[in-house]
Structure 1
Amino acid sequence: MSERYRTGDRVRTSTVDPDHHTRLPHYARGHVGTVVGSDGVHPLADLSAQGVQVPQQVYLVRFSARDLFGHGDHNVTLSLWEEYLSDE
């Protein structure tokens, strides 16, 4: 499976608020972060919770805490499935 994003790419997270399980934290929705690495290929957790296995690339995405929470001088890095991301 080829990677859509590379280290250093800026990405925006989805703003979708599904009515089912998701591993995209609410506090990170709609925010812009930077890809800092790959976390492998894993079944999309949203569908796995429904018994469906769809492998997908997972990325390590770094966000400024100030951008996410309005304060803080540190970064937050999340493992996010490709489905949650779009080009900035």
Structure 2
Amino acid sequence: MSERYRTGDRVRTSTVDPDHHTRLPHYARGRVGTVVGSDGVHPLADLNARGIRQPQQVYLVRFPARELFGHGDHNVTLSLWEDYLGDE
């Protein structure tokens, strides 16, 4: 499985608020971060919870705390499935 994003790429997370399980935290929706690495290939948790196994690339994405919470001088790194990400 090829990786769509590379380390250093800026990405924006999805703004979709699904009516089912999701591993994309609400506070991170529509936010801009930087890919800092790969976290392997895993079933998409949203679909897996509904019995659909669809593995895809998971990325480590770093966000400035200010981007997520409006304040703070630290960073937050999240493991996010490719379906949650779009180009900045």
TM-score (norm 2): 0.99
Q: How many matched pairs?
A: 88
TM-score (norm 1): 0.99
Aligned to 1:17, the other structure's residue is in SS state coil
**Structural RMSD (CA):** 0.3
Aligned to 2:27, the other structure's residue is in SS state helix
Identity %: 89
Q: Residue 46 of structure 1 aligns with which residue?
A: 46
**Separation (CA, whole Å) in 2 of partners of 1:7 and 1:34:** 8
In structure 1, runs of 5+ residues without a counterpart are: none
**Separation (CA, whole Å) in 2 of partners of 1:74 and 1:85:** 22
Alignment of 1:5-84 (within 5 A): 5-84=5-84
**Separation (CA, whole Å) in 1 of partners of 2:82 and 2:4:** 8
**Separation (CA, whole Å) in 1 of partners of 2:73 and 2:32:** 16
After TM superposition, give the deviation of residue 54 of structure 1 in Å: 0.1
After TM superposition, give the deviation of residue 45 of structure 1 in Å: 0.2
In structure 2, runs of 5+ residues without a counterpart are: none
The code of the aligned residue for 1:73 comes to D
